[in-house]
Chain A
Amino acid sequence: MHILLVEDDLSAAAYLVKGLTENGHVVDHAADGEDGLHMALTQKYDVLVVDRMLPERDGLSIIRMLRADNNTTPVLILSALGEVDDRVEGLRAGGDDYLVKPYAFVELLARLDALARRGNENESSIGLSVADLELDLLKHKVTRAGQVIRLQPRELRLLEFFMHHAGQVVTRTMLLEQVWDFHFDPQTNVIDTQISRLRSKIDKGFDRPLLHTVRGIGYKLDETP
């Protein structure tokens, strides 16, 4: 996908451009806020990665200008600050996701994937399905190969999130944020336990697994690993 990176730290930007390009993306880089805004307004991008603190024009101001111009390109905000209200402020300004430095590169990759696909997906609000696994959003009913699976409310939300991001790698941090609304990492792997419980309900006893572990990154709900 076509990504615009607005980042004034040139060595960090170079490493990001290299990493994103190696993962098959086309990346444009702007080193200050004015250039970034100009490029975002004149070209079509799938997703924008915007640093908060920039010379000439700060990141939040870029997002506000874009939104005022009815530009709905998903934006991921990078921040070196890291307080909770910064996150709230960033999302209020029109950002779609928020990542605090230092972050893992795979985390950024996974989030960009999620953002870009959210933009052009035309999802049904009634039901979701992956292979023979189906989720009825109105009745809160889950079936696999016609067999009803009983899930706790939290497991249901977890599965719903996975199905919305079917085929994408989802990190533990993303799950904690989106499903539990916790913006920190517990030291013990509580998320892994939750996943293995969900997995035992939707995969156990069926011919092939749908919920896969992506080593070192997170999880993926997909027909193929």
Chain B
Amino acid sequence: MKPRSLLLHTTAMRLALRYAVFYAVLIALGLGALYWAISRYVDAQLAAGLEQEVHELASLDRQQGRQKLKALLKSESLIIGENRRYYLLDETKSNKQTGNLLAWPHALKVEGKVQNIWIEDDLIPGYMEDQDGYWPMVGVVLDDGARLLVAQAVRQAEDLQEFILATMAIIIVVSVGLALAMGWRLGRSLLDRIELINKTAERVTAGDLSRRVPLSGQDDEFDELAGHLNSMLSQIEVLLTGMRQVTDNVAHDLRRPLARMRNRIEVTLLEPRKTEDYRQALEETMTDAEELMRTFNALLEIAQAEAGSYRGEWKEVDLSALLEELSELYEDQAAEHKRNFKVQIEKELLVTGNRQLLAQVITNLLDNTFKFTDNGGSILLEAIHEDGKIQVSVSDDGAGIPADQRDKVLQRFVRLEAARSTAGNGLGLSLVKAVADLHKASLHLKDNNPGLRVVIEFKG
């Protein structure tokens, strides 16, 4: 898509157009009202002038006689004055007409009131330069029954109207033009920045996950949007990298038992064997299969917990009761394996979450302490309220984890050298991390001097 074709569709352009129309209408209404008021004023002024003149002429006729009036009309008629007035005296008795209007307009009544009458060109003498139109005029009857009219050519009034109309037109055209120009400029600058985002998105879609939307540095909404998009892209990149790594790990960690199973079966089938040999091979294969299934289940559980929107039961869990139950299970275990197992659990520790997952997390941590301590080792399960948070910790005085390895062990399938000889799949702490995240709890691996102290901190 080319930006040019998009321009009319930009929000800025649409807004500009909408405002342009709005203001044009507003200006038209205002000027219309002004025009109307001025017209009224001008009309009233004209009417008053016409009425005054016709009365002056009538009183001249009354006081100084008809001849004086006629003389005046003749001289007035010959001068085309600035005010462009027309006169006609119609003496009905002698059927004589004096003045510069060629005939008496039929529609004009002699009531002394101003009327707008349509005047054709043929009523106007050729030397006058006025044109046809509605002319305001007034007619009166003189003492002897003769009629007298005074008319105003409309050119003056029309000039004013035309001037106002032209002004209105110019203002409207200019304001719409300005609005469009502004809209275009604004639209262009919006489009340019959106183009940047589009280009980045295209690159990312094409597989270049390291692309980011450049920021303008203006710290505006676009920079904010770009910032959000960039952090989204970073998150996607992290997740994808993680997924690739997990896939690699899964392939690596599952290939070994699978290869072992296949080799065993292959060798067993090479030649006829005794029943006990078959039985032994099958039993060993089943053990391998079970191990594989455990690994798969653990991976599935981690994936479900990491999915963010957990579909399992989610309600208030009495953490104190749950930990008591678990410690009961492990107390005998500790006695049998000669571990010094201590438990300190405060009452009424409540968290919202999934009981099974929480129990499994504590179980994983306790299982680990048994794995990584020797006979006589100490294990502490502690749960306390602190600063409005609920803190559950599992500590031991075993080998511990070097500080620089503590983040690493949370990843899937990571087993440190010390753990190579023990049973396990390297997924225990990954699940702990995933479940802690799911419960919005923070997970800390700390030095227990010696040993490891794992702390899960729930928001109270």
Contact = CB atoms under 8 A, between A and B. Distances in A.
B332 A197 contact: yes
A84 B313 contact: yes
B313 A88 contact: yes
B306 to A, nearest CB: 14
Given A84-B354, A184-B360, A193 B332 contact: yes
Contact of A190 (B293, B297, B313, B330): B330
Contacts of A15: none
A182 B313 contact: no
A83 B303 CA distance: 12
B8 interface: no
Listed from nearest, the 8 A-B pairs whose CB atoms lie closest are: A193-B332, A84-B312, A190-B329, A85-B312, A186-B363, A187-B367, A193-B333, A184-B360
A24 B423 CA distance: 37
Contacts of B423: 187
A82 B293 CA distance: 13
Nearest to B425: A187
Interface in B55-111: none
B332 A82 contact: no
A11 interface: no
A194 B332 CA distance: 7
Q: Which among A83, A180, A184, A187 has the highest number of chain B CB atoms within 10 Å? A: A187
B356 A154 contact: no
Interface string B308-336: 00011100000000000100111011011
A182 B330 contact: no
A174 B216 CA distance: 63
Interface string B331-346: 0110110000000000
Contact of A83 (B312, B332, B333, B336): B312
12 contacts: A84-B357, A85-B313, A154-B325, A180-B325, A182-B356, A184-B360, A184-B363, A186-B329, A188-B367, A190-B333, A191-B329, A197-B332
Q: Which among A83, A104, A154 has the highest number of chain B CB atoms within 10 Å? A: A83
A102 interface: yes
Contacts of A189: 333
Contacts of B367: 186-188
A18 interface: no
B128 to A, nearest CB: 101
Contacts of B357: 84
A188 B293 contact: no
A183 interface: yes
B293 A183 contact: no
Given A102-B293, A186-B363, A187-B367, A180 B311 contact: no
B232 interface: no
Interface in A81-118: 82-85, 88, 102, 104
Contact of B297 (A82, A88, A187, A194): A82
Contacts of A194: 329, 332
Given A83-B312, A85-B311, A190-B329, 14 more contacts: A83-B311, A84-B354, A84-B356, A84-B357, A85-B313, A102-B293, A182-B356, A184-B360, A186-B329, A188-B333, A188-B367, A190-B332, A196-B332, A197-B332
Interface string A120-154: 00000000000000000000000000000000001
Interface of A: 82-85, 88, 102, 104, 154, 180-191, 193-194, 196-197
Contacts of A102: 293
Contacts of B360: 182, 184
B405 to A, nearest CB: 21
A84 B363 CA distance: 17
Q: Which among A104, A154, A184 has the highest number of chain B CB atoms within 10 Å? A: A184
B178 interface: no
Contacts of B300: 82
A193 B331 CA distance: 9
A182 B359 contact: yes
A83 B328 CA distance: 26
A193 B338 CA distance: 13
Contacts of A184: 356, 359-360, 363
B413 interface: no
A183 B356 contact: yes
B304 interface: yes
Nearest to B310: A83
B133 interface: no
Nearest to B331: A193
Contacts of B290: 104
Nearest to A152: B328
Nearest to A188: B367
B184 interface: no
Contacts of B294: 185
Nearest to A184: B360
Q: Which among A184, A185, A190 has the highest number of chain B CB atoms within 10 Å? A: A190
B370 A188 contact: yes
Contacts of A182: 356, 359-360, 363
Contact of B304 (A83, A180, A181): A83
B424 interface: yes
A185 B290 CA distance: 12
A28 to B, nearest CB: 28
A191 B333 CA distance: 9
